[in-house]
Chains A and B, each alone.
Chain A
Amino acid sequence: MTLLLRARRQRSWPKLATEDIVKRARLLVIDDAEFPLIKSFRKDGYNMEKWNDVRDLGSLESDSFDLILLDLQGVGRGHSPDQGFGILKHIRETNPAQIVVAYSNEEWPLEYQPFFHNADAVLPKTKTDYYEFKRTVDSLLAKRFSLDYYVERAASEMHDYAGAAPKAPKKIRAAILDRKSDDLADYLKARIDDAHTVERVIQVVQIAIQMAQVVHTWTN
């Protein structure tokens, strides 16, 4: 009976209250200027860290933060001539499940506009007040701790191959809940002739499995 209960608990994705998410989530702001709103965020219980520049690229690649607020100008010069845009692109490539909010002024030339699509949200620096910021952060954090987010993210990594593997979303969900991705990998490999795409889908699923374990630890 205990085993059955444990198995059922493991097959589900626990729901976290907003207060729990706020308390547990790790947020990072990368901005070369002062970020005064950090005071309000911390006062409201958010665990927010601030870097003046990209201090440790490795931790951006390894899912160390639940949400990154990235200034697009004046940071990351040492890593990319495109500054924040280069960092944003790098994060998207190496850590597809990472949530990034592009935080910038609006003086970017038009050719940079498509880069904004790499971000989960775009917040103009002078047009966003604390509550709008908070609403955006809360809504993205709620996604970050939800099963649907990972299923959607993993499925979106298939791009044009989605039609070739119609059962993939269902199998992604099952793989995350069962915490093993072998069956999913076999299914995808049999239908998608692109090892990189399969690898990225599995990468998102692995991140989701780790997240599921963390969330279970919090709720138990």
Chain B
Amino acid sequence: MDELALQFFPLPHVLKGTRRDGLAVQWPARCGTCNKECETSKQTGLQLCRYGVNYQRVDHELLIAGVVIRDYRPETDASKAMRRKAGKSSVTLKEFEDTTARCAETTDVLAAEMQQRRDAVIAEYRTSRQYQQDVVGLLRPDLERALGSVHDYKQFVQQILQNMEVLLESRTPGLPIMETLDHAAHEERAIYWAARMMDERLDAALLVLNPGRITTSVQRKRHRLHGLVTKYLKIYQRRIEAKKLHMRKIGESWSEVEANIAALTIIPHALIDNATKYAPEGTDIHLGFSEDDGWIKLRVASYGPVIREDEKNRIFDLFYRGVDASSHFDEGTGFGLGAAQLIAEQLGTKITMSQDGTVGPKGSRWTEFCVSFAIAPVRTSPSGRTTIGKRQ
């Protein structure tokens, strides 16, 4: 209940432990020396104290008390005496009930307004960079503990990848590694791509822990976004085949982006990983590229779990999983999307999500994730001619 509004409240009351007179009725003199039964009572509803004065608790902050209700029943000797003393200061039961009802109504309205204001502040905080930093700060000790052996993990991954490369390269000398994989046995491919997936996960976790490294110039390179996305699509091949998913590439992009490539690739990977993980068996996944006004837009769309209105912002929180997702799918930690959004923001962009209401198998919804990357700026070739990052 708002303190300011209660200044105009007609009946005596106790607000947050302080007794205040009402605008029309003051506290009876007897209440000044009583044992404050009304304030300590745990009873709800309209009550009568041993001195014959009525009271009723509205909420944990507000107690209406010091009121003499002349038609309150059952009567006691004390209440009869108090009614005589109060004279015109007493009120009828109906007047009391009307006043408390109005008060409860106002309390509800104010509470709703307060909640709205609180929600707005939280929503604003959620979209701020400070929120991401605070979340990472809170999670840092756990992440650091979990990644205590990250160097060892990276070494294992390196050993697997390089030994596989030596094996494949010696079998088909001169062929690029990606092509040698086409000639490899299923088991070899599975080992190679599992190691690549592990490497991506480790990179994402490391970058979340050290977001400053995302923008460091040491790792800054130019690269075609289309190539970056499609190069490692095979990581998800096993899952795509197992679930009989149809990956459809829509549109194209020849332009380059300039960024920390290791960080940037985590974004499309998180979106593709998400789509392949949640898409129902036999459904489509759209991987779209388009270019417009200096930006490359990447779109990953598929059927996925229902995301409620109040979850739309939260799905990008680290370790948050939507209600539908967590109740239907065991796989997933809620780390991928959060990490991708954090990296996207460091790179000056943002991932957006929308569901258009199209219902798919098992109650799933058509879900689209979009993110745009700035096309690398014009650069001057050694010959003095300017080129933009485009294949002509």
A82–chain B nearest beta-carbon distance, Å = 15
CA distance A43 to B250 in the complex (A): 42
Task: Tell me, in angstroms, the Cα distance from A117 to B173 when the chains sit together.
Answer: 33
Are A130 and B169 within 8 A (Cβ)? yes
- Kindly identify, within residues 92 to 114 of chain A, every residue whose CB is under 8 Å from any CB belonging to chain B: 105-107, 109-110, 113
For the complex, give the distance between the alpha carbons of A107 and B144 in Å.
Answer: 12
A35 interface contact, C-beta 8 A: yes
Please indicate the chain A residues that have their CB under 8 angstroms from the CB of B199 in the complex: 126-127
Contact A125 B154 (CB under 8 A): yes
Give the residues from 125 to 171 in chain B that come closer than 8 angstroms, CB to CB, to chain A: 150-151, 154-155, 157-159, 161-163, 165-166, 169-170
Complex CA–CA separation, A126 to B157 (angstroms): 7
Give, as a whole number of angstroms, the nearest-CB distance from B222 to chain A: 15
A35 touches B162 (CB 8 A): yes
Whether A105 contacts B218 by the Cβ 8 Å rule is no
**For the side of the interface on A, what is the size category?**
20 to 34
B163:A107 contact, CB within 8 angstroms: no
Answer yes or no: B92 CB below 8 A from chain A CBs: no
Contacts of A113 in B (CB 8 A): 213, 216, 218
Contacts of A39 in B (CB 8 A): 166, 170
* Residue in chain B with minimal CB distance to A110: B212
**B173 / chain A contacts, CB cutoff of 8 Å:** 43
Query: How many residue pairs between the two chains, A and B, have CB atoms under 8 Å in the bound complex?
Result: 67
Partner of B176 from A43, A74, A131 at Cβ < 8 Å? A131
- What chain B residues lie within 8 Å of A34 (beta carbons)? 159
Interface of A is mostly: loop
Q: How far is the CA of A171 from the CA of B231 in the complex (A)?
A: 48
Known A43-B170, A107-B206, A110-B210: A129·B216 in contact at CB below 8 Å: no
A37 at the interface (CB under 8 A from B): yes
A45 contacts across to B, CB distance below 8 A: none
Query: CB distance A109 to B177 under 8 Å?
Result: no
Assembly CA distance A35 to B203 (angstroms):
21
B166 touches A130 (CB 8 A): yes
Chain A minimum-CB-distance residue to B215:
A110
Given contacts A122-B218, A126-B157, contact A109 B210 (CB under 8 A): yes
Within 8 A of B (CB), among A39-76: 39-40, 43, 73-74
Q: A166 interface residue, CB < 8 Å from B?
A: no
Q: How far is the CA of A113 from the CA of B161 in the complex (A)?
A: 25
Q: In the complex, what residues of B have CB within 8 A of residue A125's CB?
A: 154, 158
User: B166, A36: Cβ atoms under 8 Å?
Assistant: yes
Contacts of B155 in A (CB 8 A): 33, 105
B165 near A105 with CB under 8 A, answer no
- Whether, in the assembled complex, A124 has its beta carbon less than 8 Å from a beta carbon of chain B, the answer is yes
* Interface-central residue, A74, A105, A125, A131, by most chain B CB under 10 Å: A105
Shortest distance between the CB of B264 and any CB in chain A (Å) = 13
Query: Provided the pairs A33-B158, A40-B170, A126-B199 are in contact, do residues A73 and B216 lie with their beta carbons within 8 angstroms?
Result: no
A36 lies within 8 A of B163 (CB) = yes
Q: How far is the CB of A138 from chain B (nearest CB, A)?
A: 14
Residues of A within 8 A of B354 (CB): none
Q: Does A116 contact B (CB under 8 A)?
A: yes
Contact A107 B150 (CB under 8 A): yes
In the complex the two chains form, is B203's CB within 8 Å of A106's CB? yes
Tell me, rounded to whole Å, the shortest Cβ–Cβ distance linking A110 to chain B: 5
In the A-B complex, the 5 residue pairs with the smallest Cβ-Cβ separation, listed nearest first, are A36-B162, A105-B154, A129-B177, A125-B158, A36-B163
Q: Can you name 15 A-B residue pairings with CB atoms under 8 Å?
A: A33-B158, A36-B165, A40-B165, A43-B170, A105-B151, A105-B154, A106-B213, A106-B262, A107-B206, A110-B210, A110-B216, A126-B154, A126-B158, A126-B161, A129-B165
